[in-house]
Chains A and B, each alone.
Chain A
Amino acid sequence: MKEQCQKVRFQVELRIMACPQYLYIARQAVRRMAELSEMSEEERDVLTLAMEEALTNVIRHGYGGPCDKQMIIQLGKIEANGERSAGLEIVISDFGKQVDPGEIKGRDLDDVRPGGLGVHIIKSMMDEVEYTPREEGGMQLRMVKYAK
């Protein structure tokens, strides 16, 4: 049974409406998935926060605010092999505005002001972060955290 579960890239897929009141549900899912992936408490916190920041960015920038469009969240365990430790892969797809991935950057932290920290937080905390415009419209963010 375990081998069968390992064959698929994503074991969990969620679709949530782009409204802030549903973010809690996504947080619970990623935390539980990180637990199943044997990530440490600290790593679970990192994954939960990174995904939260990614989803709020989709709502705020991709969709221009809360709306009834969907965000697709895919969660997949990465098994350890000789070259790397186990981890968790998160892929978030949206149907919002497309942007050049090169334009997605964290802002200058010396400029203390409210907001604009999401991308910095994601890039600082996750081991792999990749934004890609989707052929069918919208953006996809793939991010991975490996266990220490």
Chain B
Amino acid sequence: MADAGGNIQNIIKDITREGDVVIVKLTGEIDMHSSTELRGCLLEITQERPRLLVINMEEVLFLDSSGLAVFVETMQQSRTQGRQLKLVGLHPRVRSIFEISRLMDIFQIYDTQEEALA
């Protein structure tokens, strides 16, 4: 059942751990409402200090600057720890906010999860 925010389901669809790699699969729309949950989740994961954190966004259909801020913060934490953050599968609608904010070159962005893990 949807909550009033329209984030019909939990935006964290799945978290898998393979050794020192963590893959977080997201779904739905990331806005000011759902980004709070996302931030909490990613903060917890970065505290585990994984060598590589992959965020699969193939099912994310909307992202605003609140969500973008969470990714910037996570990326900066990962870099401080000497770890890697990779984003996967940006929908054109989502990609455009990275482009307009000139963040495409700041993040490591891949088309597929396989490419990110290679």
Contacts and interface: CB of A to CB of B under 8 A. Distances in A.
A118 B97 CA distance: 10
B72 interface: yes
A39 to B, nearest CB: 14
A142 interface: no
B62 interface: yes
B106 interface: yes
A148 B26 CA distance: 33
B6 A28 contact: yes
Residue among A59, A118, A121 facing the most chain B CB atoms (10 A cut-off): A121
Contacts of B101: 109, 117, 120-121
Nearest to B93: A45
A23 B65 contact: no
A92 to B, nearest CB: 15
B6 to A, nearest CB: 3
Chain A interface main SS type: helix
A21 B5 contact: yes
Interface string B1-14: 00111110000000
Interface in B1-53: 3-7, 29, 31-33, 36
A29 to B, nearest CB: 11
Nearest to A45: B93
A23 B4 CA distance: 9
Among B62, B70, B106, residue most surrounded by chain A Cβ atoms (within 10 Å): B62
A114 B70 contact: yes
Contacts of A59: 32
Given A45-B96, A109-B102, A112-B106, A25 B6 contact: yes
Given A22-B5, A45-B93, A118-B65, A56 B32 contact: yes
Contacts of B96: 45, 49
Contact of B65 (A20, A22, A117): A117
Interface of A: 20-25, 27-28, 45, 48-49, 52-53, 56, 59-60, 109, 112-115, 117-118, 120-121, 124-125
22 contacts: A20-B31, A20-B33, A21-B5, A22-B5, A23-B32, A27-B6, A45-B96, A49-B64, A52-B31, A53-B64, A56-B65, A56-B66, A112-B72, A112-B103, A113-B72, A114-B70, A114-B72, A114-B76, A117-B68, A117-B69, A117-B101, A121-B97
